[in-house]
Amino acid sequence: MVSCGGLMNTISTVLLKFILPTVFMVYVVVTVKQWASLGTVETYSAMSCENVVGAIREYNSINSVSDHIDKYTPVEDQNTLREMMQITRLRCNCPKPPYWLKPVNERRIEEGKKWEFEKNKRLEPLSICKAMSPFNYIGGGITVEPYQTVPIVGLSLHPIVEQMLPNLNTNITLQISSTKKMGKLHLSKLITPMMLENYVISGEKAFELRINLKQNIELLKAILDNKILYSSDNYELDARDKLQITLLNFTADIYVRIRREPLPDLYDPGERNSVIDKVTVITKTFERPDVIEQFVASVHKYYPNISLIIADDSEFPKPIKKDHVKYFVMPFREGSFPGRNLALSQVRTKYVVFLDDDMFFTSETNLEIMMEKLEDPNIDMDINCGEVKNLGILKGFRSIGYNDTQGYCNMGAFFKHNNLVPGYPQCGWGEMFMFFFMAKTAVLRKIGAYPQIVQAAHEEAWIDAIGKAKCAFCPDSSVYHIRGRNKKYSAYRRESQSILFSDPLALFENNMCYWWSWYKFPRVPNFSIKVENPLT
Ligand SMILES: *[C@@H]1O[C@H](CO)[C@@H](O)[C@H](O)[C@H]1NC(C)=O
Ligand SMILES: *[C@@H]1O[C@H](CO)[C@@H](O)[C@H](O)[C@H]1NC(C)=O
Ligand SMILES: *[C@@H]1O[C@H](CO)[C@@H](O)[C@H](O)[C@H]1NC(C)=O
Ligand SMILES: *[C@@H]1O[C@H](CO)[C@@H](O)[C@H](O)[C@H]1NC(C)=O
Ligand SMILES: *[C@@H]1O[C@H](CO)[C@@H](O)[C@H](O)[C@H]1NC(C)=O
């Protein structure tokens, strides 16, 4: 091996005197060669780039520069890199809460910190790829179930390094360790004891495996070829171990994900594969017996025999007794979200339609067309909202700001023009619409509804779906809304709305220090809390 002790501290000299000229020379040779063989000018630049990298590697392996680069090139740690990425995140200054909200606000921040801590444990690691690696490896994506075994795939020598190695006359050691001690390393039984005779192995089935291969390159290649095994040794649902592999004086990090794979949530679509078998209509009603009767009649007029589930928390409920209708009576004033949860918990079909009890099916209500989109494997739509005639159309996405110490901010809506659903130009993606939709039952169950919110809350429900369901609005299916009010209903509605405006529950649930509208606190306009982004 060529000694390069004198170059240890003068990487720049190496770059200027050796690497750059070499690179340039190879570049010229390659370019000329390609011109000659391909005769096209367009292809050479992209291809020669690859060869320049090869040239650097070649030079690097000949001269063992990698030892020094590995030691002297500062590679930023994960936290620093993460902080850099966070600079462009939408941020907010949390307004001071009113005095009466202080104690609950402090509890919210405490709970929020615990939640963030759990979230950070599952962050996608940044698999930092150092330059000039003598071997190929997969930085992230290798996955294993707890207590199971996975080969560390994707390891191989760089072809030029492989060519150079026999001439280097150097001892090759291969070391691989589990830095978080979550799993053990060992070799596949295909590498037999006989093959390993004479080669010192330490730490087999331990957190670190070390092999001195002397100059046996064939054995090294055989081992790298999927024969290093990682056996998870901890019970985790979703965690990452960091493996460190050192070969030819170069160390790389490989992240292994330990993931207990959840089983599928399937629903039998029935023999006929029809909307009747695959969809249940649910609603929650309160003190409007005439309205809910009309509701049931309209649904069954257009979809006879479709399953209907109704949750009612009226004082003196009048349950509807009818085939295909399940009517659940709840304690008086149990609440809107609890009612939705109850109805949803009873659904047995793959899809569920939710609408308010004062909305009605018409000849323009088309459940088939809504279901078709949820079943299209190319678009991953979870919730398909239809139009509610004679109520406004809601659209847009939510601007969610972050504050590192005090929670999140709901800063209002933002709009994008390129939000059309591929293949369905009548539909647009968004994060808040009117309450008439068809959803995948499994997805809606996971979102759930926070039962402490008892009033007829709207934005709160949509905020809960952010990041959990992909929603779109399509006006190709609609229902009709009537203002079905009576004295008793209106009195309770007024009362509950007055509570809602000053109720901090929605803020608490989503760890929000600010909600742009609706709540009477904190009373500041959304633009005044926005933190300027230093980069854009
Ligand atoms: C969080 O909000 C507080 C109070 O408004 C503010 O002083 C702080 O700078 C904010 N922090 C971040 C990281 O946005
Ligand atoms: C390789 O290691 C052995 C000891 O394991 C040592 O005797 C030998 O000199 C080393 N060879 C080289 C080329 O470093
Ligand atoms: C690794 O580095 C040591 C000294 O740091 C050197 O003696 C050895 O030859 C290097 N091995 C390879 C394969 O580059
Ligand atoms: C609807 O259900 C009734 C029983 O409730 C049954 O007699 C009838 O055949 C069903 N109709 C359809 C179209 O499934
Ligand atoms: C404030 O809210 C309004 C209404 O949703 C929105 O149009 C505007 O973009 C928001 N401003 C900021 C700074 O988020």
Q: Does the structure show a pLDDT above 50 at 2?
A: no
Atom 1 of ligand 3, residue of closest alpha carbon? 249
Whether 489 maps to a domain, the answer reads no
Which amino acid residue places its CA nearest to atom 5 of ligand 4? 323
Task: Please tell me the distance from the alpha carbon of residue 232 to that of residue 228, in angstroms, as a whole number.
Answer: 13
Question: Within this chain, do residues 150 and 207 fall inside the same structural domain, yes or no?
Answer: yes
Protein residue with least CA distance to atom 3, ligand 5: 412
Q: What is the pLDDT of residue 471?
A: 97
The answer to whether residues 334 and 371 belong to one domain is yes
Q: Is the CB of 316 under 6 A from ligand 5?
A: no
Atom nearest to 248 CA in ligand 3: 13
Cα 534 to averaged position of ligand 2 atoms, centre (Å): 55
Has residue 303 got a pLDDT over 50? yes
For 519, residues 6+ apart whose C-beta sits below 8 A from its C-beta are 501, 502, 503, 504, 506, 507
- Does 170 share its domain with 281? no
Does the C-beta of 528 come closer than 6 Å to ligand 5? no
The alpha carbon of 249 and the centre of ligand 3 are apart by a number of angstroms equal to: 6
Give 284's strand partners. 311
Q: Which ligand minimizes its atom distance to the CA of 516?
A: 5
Asked if residue 94 is part of any domain, the answer here is no
Greater confidence (280 vs 73) lies with 280
CATH of the domain at 346: 3.90.550.10
Same domain, 206 and 289: no
Query: Is residue 214 one of the residues assigned to a domain?
Result: yes
**Closest among 125, 256, 126, 260 to 181, alpha carbons compared:** 256
DSSP 243-262: EEEEETTEEEEEEEEEE-PP
Name the domain boundary from 262, 295, 325.
Answer: 262
Please tell me whether residues 288 and 317 are part of one structural domain. yes
Taking only the tens place, the pLDDT of each residue in 274-296 is: 999 999 999 999 999 999 999 99
DSSP H/E element including 364:
none
Ligand 4: lining residues by beta carbon, under 6 Å: 304-305, 323
Which of 484, 510, 528 delimits the end of a domain? 484
Query: How far away, in angstroms, is 64 Cα from ligand 3 center?
Result: 8
> Does 258 lie in the same domain as 330?
no
The range of the structural domain enclosing residue 326 comes to 275-394+432-484
Residue 196 lies in a domain: yes
d(CA 438, CA 275): 11
Please indicate, yes or no, whether residues 446 and 363 belong to a single structural domain of this protein: yes
The whole-number pLDDT of residue 517 equals 77
Task: Give the pLDDT of residue 78.
Answer: 83
In a domain, residue 151? The reply is yes
pLDDT value at residue 144: 98
How far apart (Å, rounded) are the C-alpha atoms in residues 414 and 512?
A: 18
Within 6 A (CB) of ligand 2 lie: 169-171, 212, 214
62 lines ligand 5 (CB under 6 A): no
CB 383 within 8 A of CB 439: yes
**Coil vs helix vs strand at 490:** helix
Q: Is residue 523 part of a domain?
A: no
pLDDT at 306: 97
Q: Are residues 318 and 288 in the same domain?
A: yes
Are residues 230 and 143 both part of a single domain? yes
Render pLDDT for 193-222 as a digit per residue (tens, 0 to 9): 889 888 888 888 889 999 999 889 999 999
Q: How many domains does the chain have?
A: 2
* Cα 441-377-276 angle, rounded to 5 deg: 45
pTM for the model stands at 0.82
Q: Is residue 103 one of the residues assigned to a domain?
A: no
The protein residue whose alpha carbon is closest to atom 7 in ligand 5 is: 413
Atom from ligand 2 closest to the CA of residue 200: 5
Q: Is residue 362 part of a domain?
A: yes
389 and 256 within one domain:
no
For a mutational test of ligand 3's pocket, the pick from 59, 64, 66, 175, i.e. the residue with the most ligand atoms closer than 8 A to its C-beta, is 64
Nearest-angstrom CA–CA distance, 147 and 145: 6
Of 236, 262, 288, which residue constitutes the final position of a domain?
262
Instruction: Say whether both 30 and 159 belong to one domain.
Output: yes
176 & 243 share domain: yes
